[in-house]
Structures are given as structure tokens and as C-alpha cells.
A and B are shown apart, each in its own frame.
Chain A
Amino acid sequence: MGVLVVFGALNSYQGAKGYSAQFPDAYGVAAAESRFAPLIARIPPGGELGYITDLNPSQPAYSAAFLAAQYAVAPRLLTLLDGRPAPEWAAGNFSKPQDYAAAGAPLGYGVTADLGNGVVLFHRK
């Protein structure tokens, strides 16, 4: 039995090693922390940020991107812009380069700074 356990543990280890090599930062948290670092330097910890993205809420990547961004900017609070009073600032989280101003305008926001890697700081107009 002891030998079987060792082989089972070895099998688990090989599986974990393979998964880790194939999917480093599986949920994009480390990437989000790196991408959002310039943004959190500009917003105080108690700040509340609207959330603007090009991802469709019906896509599985939407919630993963939102939650990774929330983790990276915490304790700043990300809020969805769905009818609630709009926060003064908004964080843009985009999957590809595009016209960021056009993405923020319908929601009442203008671009304050393009912080690179798809992260944009917006300010309410």
C-alpha cells in the first residue's frame, strides 16, 4: 500500500507540474497586477472605479478578467456601469488596442491616460 501511495503522489506531482507549466498564471492575476500597477498608483485605496471593457458579458473570459482586475486593484472597488451613479473614475480593461475614447463616450467617460497593455484610466465627463 505504501508503494501505491508513493506512485499516486508521484502521479499527482507530475500532473501538477505539467499543468503549472502549461497554464502559468491560469487566472491572469499576476498579469493583472502587473498591468494595473500604473493605474493603482493614480487612484487612492478608497477609490471606486467604474469598469469599461470590450469583452462581452456572455463570454467566459469576461468574469475572469473582471475578477482578476478587481483583485489587482483591491481595496479599490470596481463597479459595473449598469445604471448606478457613475463613479468619478473608471478603469478600462481591454483585450486589444482600439479607440478607447469611443468605448468610454457612450458611458459618459473620457480618456485620461492610456496606461498600456489594454489598461486605460477614464474620468467622468
Chain B
Amino acid sequence: MIAEILTFAACLGSGWFLARALTAGAFKGPRWSSLVVELAAGVVFGPGLASVIYFALAVAGAATRAGVVAATAAQLVVCAGIWWRLTPGMKPSPSSSKTPAWTWALYICAGAALILFLLDFQAATSANPNGDWDAMAVWNVRARFLASGDLWRRAVSPQMGGGMAGAAHPGYPLFLSAFLALQWTAAGGFDSIVPMAASLLFALAALGLLGAGVAVRKSALLGLLASLILLASDVFVSQAAAQYSDLLQGLAFLGALVLLESADVTPSPRLFAAIGLTAGLSAWIKTRDSYSRPQRSPSRCGAFVLGARFGWRSEPRPACSLPLP
């Protein structure tokens, strides 16, 4: 359990170091909002890089407890080194002090909604601790294979799921499964708390990133309203306990958008590296139909991010046109 917690914390810590190094000075809003953006980006960076390293270790036959702990520690040290060398000194941004008098009421509502969100998560997770259908059939079962030494090939085998079409998606990428497998390898067992904690972490990061991403560009009040709208979404709340990779992918897409938006104001090579890392890791999370159309999801992701950033619009379609595939 201790090794599990330490590797989990080391992954998050390394992600924050890297996010801090790559995005320092990029956000003009209050410090708390840029800190939340850094933490949320770190939730993508740290576990994402750890999952890539873990998969390499598995392929090399070195995904043992000692190997995983050493690799995670090395990742933390390297990311801390990057943070130490690259992070520029920053001047504190002037924060706007004008907020409507009734803002405190929104904070109370946000606190209440967050508590209800956590209660919802607890109710759903206690009934289904292994998550929903795809968690059982795809993400967590592949993590079990990946966490079992030389048996990692079963996580990408067409025989997984009995070869039933659409049952187990052995062609999906391995961000989530490899991240879970890393914790399970460190722990030496398949503790269901790991996917629960990861799922909650990704949901909270998405919630925080949405609010902070709006706050750094507009205002803290608008950021708070954005988070409130997300908390009101039944789909978002129910996905938090599902243990799927969809929330994680949404987090990566949102992270790429927030960073790209900031690059417009404060462009820097470090920030573009962060954007590339976030968008690149999003393609390591989930690619729909990757067997038959491997190019579609990453290209759609890229088009989505770029299109949203630069406001590209397709030409209006004639009324009689057929929908494009």
C-alpha cells in the first residue's frame, strides 16, 4: 500500500514539476488559477509519461516492483531537474480585486455541489467498485494483464475478450491501463482503490482545469461559473465513477485548449512543448476504431484543438448535402 501511494504521488509530483517548468509565466490571472492549471496539466503529464515508461519496462521484461519504483523515482528526479533548470523567475500578476458582492454565495453553492459530487461518486463506487462496463471489459482488465510481467502481450491480444467483436478493444492505447498497472505492480496486487482514485483524480482535474482555464483568461467569477456548470452535468458526474478513459481524454483535450489559448498571449517554446505533450498524450489515451481507421482519432483531436483555437469554421453546407463521415 505504501509503495502504491508513493508511486502514485511520484507520478503526480513529476507531472507538476514538468507542467510548472513548461507553463511558468504563461498565465496572467491570479496565482491560484495558474496553480490549478499546472496541477491539472500535471495530472496528464505525470501519469502519461509514467504509463509510457511502464509499457517500455513491460516490453523489456523489467516491470517488476523494484523496476517500477526505480523508474518512477527517476521520472520524478528528472522532472524536478527540468523544473529547477528551466523555470524562469516570475513577477506576481496583479489580481483584479473587483468581484461582485454576492460572489460568496456562489462559493457556497460550489462547495455544496462539490460535496454532492463526492457523495455521488461514493454511492456509485461502493455499488460497483470495479467501475462500469468498459472498465471491467477494457481498461482495468488490460491493466491486470500489463501488471503481470511477461503476460503483458495479453493486453494487446485479439484473443482478449474471447475475440468477441467490440468486447475488449485490444487496439486501444494504454495510458490508463498502463498507469493502473504501474500502481498494481508497485503494490503487488490488484487493489481496486487504484482505479477508483485515478478516476476521481481525473474528474477533479477536469473540473479544476475548466474553472481555472477560464479564470486565467477572463475572471475568477466566470471560472467558478464554468466549474458550476460542469458540476451540474449528470453525464460528467456519472463518468467520474465509471473508471473509463473518456474523462481523461476530455481532460487532455481541455488542457491542450487552455495551453493553446495562453500561447496566443504569451507564446514561448516551452509552452508549445507543453501543448504538444498534452495533445500527443491524448492520442495515447483512446483512439476509436484504431484497427480499421488508425488515423482518424488523433487527426480529429488535432483538428479539434487547432480549429477551436484559431476559430476555423467549415463552409456552411448546402441544405441537401450529406453528412461527412
Assess whether B159 is interfacial by the CB under 8 Å rule. Answer: yes
Assess whether B57 is interfacial by the CB under 8 Å rule. Answer: no
Chain B residues 112 to 171 lying within 8 A of chain A, measured CB to CB, are: 112-113, 116-117, 119-120, 123-124, 126-130, 132-133, 136-137, 140-141, 144-145, 147-148, 150-151, 154, 157, 159-164, 167-168
CB contacts (< 8 Å) of B108 on chain A: these are 2
Cβ-defined contact, A16 with B124, below 8 A: yes
Chain B residues 229 to 253 lying within 8 A of chain A, measured CB to CB, are: 229, 231-234, 237-238, 241
- Interface digits, B95-109 against A, CB 8 Å rule (1 contact, 0 not)? 000000000011011
Cβ-defined contact, B144 with A75, below 8 A: yes
Assess whether A108 is interfacial by the CB under 8 Å rule. Answer: no
Chain A residues 47 to 70 lying within 8 A of chain B, measured CB to CB, are: 51, 63, 66-68, 70
Query: Which of these, A20, A46, A71, contacts B150 with CB under 8 Å?
Result: A46
Known: A20-B123, A20-B128, A67-B161. A77 touches B116 (CB 8 A): no
Cβ-defined contact, A16 with B120, below 8 A: yes
Cβ-defined contact, A74 with B133, below 8 A: no
Assess whether B225 is interfacial by the CB under 8 Å rule. Answer: yes
Cβ-defined contact, A67 with B136, below 8 A: yes
Assess whether B228 is interfacial by the CB under 8 Å rule. Answer: yes
Assess whether A106 is interfacial by the CB under 8 Å rule. Answer: no
Assess whether B110 is interfacial by the CB under 8 Å rule. Answer: yes
- Per DSSP, chain B at the interface is helix
Assess whether A1 is interfacial by the CB under 8 Å rule. Answer: yes
CB contacts (< 8 Å) of A68 on chain B: these are 136
- Interface digits, A24-40 against B, CB 8 Å rule (1 contact, 0 not)? 11110110000000000
CB contacts (< 8 Å) of A6 on chain B: these are 109, 112-113, 116
Q: Count the A residues whose beta carbon is within 8 Å of the partner chain — how many? A: 40
CB contacts (< 8 Å) of A5 on chain B: these are 109-110, 113, 228-229, 231-232
Cβ-defined contact, B136 with A71, below 8 A: yes
Cβ-defined contact, B136 with A29, below 8 A: yes
Bound Cα distance A25, B231 (Å): 25
Query: Which of these, B136, B151, B161, B225, contacts A1 with CB under 8 Å?
Result: B225
How near does chain B come to A2, taking the closest CB pair, in angstroms?
3
Known: A6-B109, A12-B237, A75-B154. A17 touches B123 (CB 8 A): yes
Kindly list the 5 A-B residue pairs having the minimum CB-CB distance in the complex, ordered from nearest: A2-B109, A20-B127, A75-B148, A9-B116, A8-B232
